[in-house]
Amino acid sequence: MFKSKINVIVLAILVLLGINYASRYLFLRFDLTENNEFTLSKASKDILTNLDDAVEVTAYFSDDLPVDITKVREELENLLNEFSSIAKGKFSYKFIAPNKDAQKEEEATKEGIRPVMINVREKDQSKQQKAFLGAVIKAGDKKETIPIIQPGTAMEYAFATGIKKLVGKNKPLIGFIQGHGEPPIQELAQAYQELSILYNISSAYINTDTVDLSAFKTLILVRPTDSIPPPDLQRLDQFLSKGGNLILAINQVDANIQYGMANPMNTGLKEWLLTKGLEIEDALVRDTRCGQVNVQQQQGFFSFSSPVQFPYLPLIQKFPNHPITKGLEQVMLEFASPLNFKNAAGIQFVPFLYTSEASARENAPLRFDVQRQWTSADFPEKNICVGAVLEGNLVGNQSSKLIVFGDGDFAINGRDQRRQNADNINLLVNSIDYLSDDTGLIDLRTKSVETRPIEELSDSKRSSLKYLNFLLPMGLVVAYGIFRSSQNRRIRMTRMEMRVK
């Protein structure tokens, strides 16, 4: 009997092993996260269901790689599998392992995929190995290369936008206005890269009548430094009156951190905006949530630079529920001016960018000192608006949209191609998408694992929460123990008493 039992159990264990092995290929997943972080977004699904021509993905992935990279491959396989089941026959994929075969390796390199070197351990020695981790998307005679595949949502975004780039027809035209000291498009490289997926981008010169502005879906005016002549403003009015959309990112106050000075600028936009009911103040906001600047300090013989909180670089972390700011975590502005809406008939004002709970405005011209010691009395105001949408009959009777930012610099990389915070770029690109796009990729771009910050608590509340959570569960256990033992003693006592009786 015992023998047969052992047989049954060995069999049972083998069956379990088999089931586990099979479950690698046949499994169900349920995404329980609140934002469905691990589920395909609607935008990808839309792109895939609307494919007209066949799209083929060739993934070049080396074999025999360490487990963490094999995991990326698995993830990619799942993603492509899901893609092909959604696209219903219009999407196919294959995997090629280039490391076995010199010819395939050459093919991969020709497609624009460069090998990366990774560390592997072989026969107790760590060595470098060449690995291919890229993919090529092909549709008809066009192709798009993804040189290195990143895990996570970046993967979905890379493939969805790659496909979109290939199959996208009639991309809308957007224009960056030039001719008044604005940075050329090259100085907005990060934004350009994001925007080129969905749009044709060109410079827009509004100082001549020869350019037909109505071809542009959206015009963007970033940080003009010269004054804008009245005929140009009239052309903008005409553009708006025909239903065009406009984005303004303006430095109303010109601040120079070297000299510690900030003076109002006169570009003519202030007066122009007043006709739409919006006032951009000759002032700067200060915020307790802010970026840092490096300050040189001298101490005896030593001079060192240390970061100092600088309230004129407001750090915006709380966003209202608006398509433009959806999914953003943190945007840093550099010297922003407050916006005020004076009621205007037929125009709707929707602010979407605010300073924090403790902030202030300071009228220009002003001087500032990076070393100044701030107190909470310096920040009496809260939620000062620094970015908003105006919608409605801005000019004439045609409805149009105008987005105004009280800061001109937040998305500019500049001549030295300084990297901007990704969400700064997302803010500009999202607002362009909001005005010009209907594909829904706006959601996918910022669909990353969202951080969920906890509230700022006072020190006393924080430590009481700490010790409450640390001690309370243990206290409950002890209390239950005492209760139970006294209960037991009582039962024992009553029994003893009964025996005595």
Partner 1 sequence: MNNPVWIIAKKELNSFFDSLTAYILLIAFLGFSGFFTWITGSDIFMRKEADLEVFFSVSKWTLFFFIPAITMKMLAEENKSGTIELLLTKAITARQIILGKFLACFLLIGVALLFTVSYYITVSQIGNIDHGATLCGYLGLLLMSAAYIGIGMFASSITNNQIVAFLLALLIGVFFHFIFDMMSYNSGGFVAQLLSGLSVNRHFESLSQGVLDTKDILFFASLTITGLLLSEVFISKRIK
Residues that bind partner 1 (CB under 8 A): 2, 5-6, 9, 12-13, 16-17, 19-20, 23-24, 27-35, 37-38, 63-68, 70, 120-122, 451-455, 457, 462, 465-474, 476-478, 481, 484, 488
Nearest-Å Rg of the Cα atoms of the chain is 31
Kindly tell me which of 318 and 361 has the beta carbon lying closer to partner 1: 318
State the minimum distance, in angstroms, from the CB of residue 6 to partner 1.
6
**Smallest separation, CB 121 to partner 1 (Å):** 5
Residue among 12 and 274 whose Cβ is closer to partner 1: 12
Backbone angles phi, psi at 494, to 5 degrees: -60, -40
Which residues, 6 or more positions from 38, have their beta carbon under 8 angstroms from its beta carbon? Answer: 29, 31
Give min distance, CB of 38 to partner 1, in A: 5
Q: For partner 1, which is the closer residue by CB, 4 or 299? A: 4
Q: How many CB atoms lie within 10 A of CB 394?
A: 24
Judged by beta carbon, residue 54 or residue 476, the one nearer partner 1 is 476
Compare residues 37 and 107 and give the one whose CB is closer to partner 1. Answer: 37
Q: What is the DSSP string of 331-358?
A: EE-SS---EEE---TTEEEEEEEE--SS
Closer of 230 and 481 to partner 1 (Cβ)? 481
CB of 488 to partner 1, least distance (A): 7
- Cα dihedral 249, 203, 401, 397 in deg (nearest 10): 130
| Segments of 159-252 assigned E as strands | 173-178, 200-205, 218-222, 245-249
Strand partners, 261: 256, 367
Task: Tally Cβ neighbours within 10 Å of residue 116.
Answer: 15
Residue pointed to by tokens 């959570």: 469
Q: Give the whole-angstrom CA distance, residue 340 versus residue 350.
A: 11
Are 353 and 385 in contact by the 8 Å Cβ rule? The answer is yes
Nearest distance from C-beta of residue 392 to partner 1, angstroms: 33
To partner 1, the closest distance from the beta carbon of 449 in angstroms equals 9
Shortest reach from residue 430's CB to partner 1, in Å: 21
* Nearest distance in Å: CB 475, partner 1: 10
By beta-carbon proximity to partner 1, the closer residue of 226 and 456 is 456
Distance set, CA 256 to CA 82, 174, 288, 331, 419 (Å): 52, 31, 20, 21, 20
**Site of tokens 């191609």:** 417
67 versus 498: smaller Cβ distance to partner 1? 67
